[in-house]
A and B are shown apart, each in its own frame.
Chain A
Amino acid sequence: MAKKEYAFYPGCSSQKGASASNYLVSVESMCQTLDIKMTEIPDWNCCGASISYAEAGELPRHVMNARNFALAEQNLPERDIVATCAACWLGARESKERLEHSNVLLADTNTALKEAGLNLKVIPEVRHMVEVLIEDLGYAELASHVKKPLEGMKIAGYVGCQTNRPFGIAGESFENPMYLDKLIESVGAEATKYDQKVTCCGGALAFSEPDKAQAQIKDIIEAAYDSGAEMLVTPCPLCQANTEVYQGQINKKYGTKFNLPVLYYSQLMVLAYGGSAKDAGLNGQVIRARKLEEFAGK
């Protein structure tokens, strides 16, 4: 199979030493196994995320994404942009959709881009890593690389919001998307069924409205435990961080005893493909995934 090449948009949280650095580590390792070549967009910038809406306004937000599009078009022509972060993917896709549907907005955007010496003609496809895995490779191909199936492990696939709504993964329902469960199954683990699969973790409001966000996170973790899950798996850095790092605070507030590891799908795949704990970025877990560490050591 020919090597697949993409313009990589890692996003702020997936840089070295940043909050989702373990995601980046595992994605790099996973792509190596799957023979996917990811070339970083040179000098890419922040997507703005959803939360910037009040200060940024409309056009500045789109312009930020447009700059990335223009850089990709200029330096990595005819490649799809692939984001690993759900929010980056959503922000970029939203800008692409708006710019493609409004000539006024596109003209204004180019006026602004000119200030940075750029110009946007064609907006590349903007895709999430998961789409590349499912659509360009397929579940069978993903499973074919498995050397050590994660047999007997019970994992709750936590899809959350932004890979699911409003765009979603093609062919999936908003209310019960199955792609994450299928990814879990393709590496030999068992996907548990629980009713908080697409509940919001609170997103950025974990900072500004911690009580509301933590109430939601509690519902998610509780339901995952009830389904018999030993860990949670997500495709989104903010989901990962929110559901992992606030468990201690929730325990204090609600008297719960949560200690549920939260992983990225890519970490599971690296381990199933025979990678080490380090390749999978397991050292980046705040709540250690001991079962996986043991598994990697075998």
Chain B
Amino acid sequence: MSDMNQQMAAKYQGNFLKEIEEQAETGEWVKMCMQCGVCSGSCPTNFHPGWEHPPQEIFMMIRAGKREEVLSSQSMWMCVSCYNCYVRCPRKVPITHIMHGIAEYAYRIGRAPKNQPTLHLSQTFWNNATKTGRVNEVQLTQTLYFKDGIASGIKKAMAMQDVALGLVKAGRLNLMEAIGGGHKCKDIKGIHAMLAKAKELEAQRKGRAA
């Protein structure tokens, strides 16, 4: 993975803006930011506490070529996909997608922060959903709460006990799913083949083929 990082750094020779434009989803919009800061003021998670670098700053850092600081930042991972910045941006910059795009790219080339909880959530969710074509909520919850190893997993599971118990009582957590039952797609094989192809095509298109 760090090979991929070096490979990309070499390819763009310090032109980080170009790198983001080509590699991150909707990254071609970064240059259109006019630095008004409405995004930073509209972000709900920029206040509890603030992001290390709010979107406006991320865009400026990209233009200033601060590659390492941007890619390794926790900031983009704080996006809750509420699209508040997106609809308020006077330049119609798709900020939500850019945040996702930069985060995805950082992860792809091995520069995302270690043990990033939202990255872990994203991995878990996607793997869970694509395993059978549909999300298995019990397994998802279990994986998430045991991610930090057994010790902290138990602590978190204890804290979440009330939550889970409430859902079970209300008939909204299907215990069948814990043992591999529950909902799934019929054509799981087709889905896996389709996704493998999609992944391959995307890697090709972005010049990230292994």
Q: Which residues of A contact B (CB under 8 A)?
A: 12-13, 15-22, 43-46, 48-60, 62-64, 67, 104, 108-109, 111-118, 161-162, 165-166, 168, 174, 198-200, 202-205, 207-209, 211-213, 215-216, 245-246, 248-249, 283-286
Contact = CB atoms under 8 A, between A and B. Distances in A.
A16 B201 CA distance: 36
A296 B65 CA distance: 62
B130 interface: yes
A233 to B, nearest CB: 17
Interface residues of B, number: 68
A12 B84 contact: no
Interface string B96-126: 1000110110011000100001111111011
Given A165-B83, A199-B44, A207-B144, A51 B169 contact: no
B31 interface: no
A116 B186 CA distance: 12
Contacts of B103: 53-54
B78 interface: yes
B142 interface: no
Contacts of B112: 54
The winner among A53, A58, A116, A165 for most chain B CB atoms within 10 A is A53
Given A200-B44, A207-B121, A48 B83 contact: no
A57 B107 CA distance: 10
5 contacts: A13-B137, A21-B172, A46-B130, A111-B201, A115-B193
A75 to B, nearest CB: 13
Interface in B171-210: 171-174, 176, 182-183, 185-187, 190-191, 193-199, 201-202, 205
B136 to A, nearest CB: 9
Contacts of A113: 194
B163 A248 contact: yes
A48 B108 CA distance: 18
Interface in B79-103: 80-84, 86-88, 94, 96, 100-101, 103
A57 B170 contact: no
Contacts of A52: 122, 125-126, 129
A285 B170 contact: yes
A19 B133 CA distance: 17
Contact of B82 (A13, A62, A161, A208): A161
Contact of B122 (A15, A51, A245): A51
Most buried by B among A48, A108, A109: A108
A202 B194 contact: no
Contacts of B176: 17
Given A166-B87, A246-B163, A17 B174 contact: yes
A93 to B, nearest CB: 12
Contact of A51 (B25, B121, B190, B197): B121
Given A12-B135, A54-B112, 11 more contacts: A17-B173, A45-B185, A58-B101, A111-B201, A165-B84, A165-B86, A166-B83, A207-B117, A208-B120, A208-B121, A245-B163
B84 to A, nearest CB: 6
B81 A286 contact: no
Given A17-B176, A108-B205, A248-B162, A12 B83 contact: no
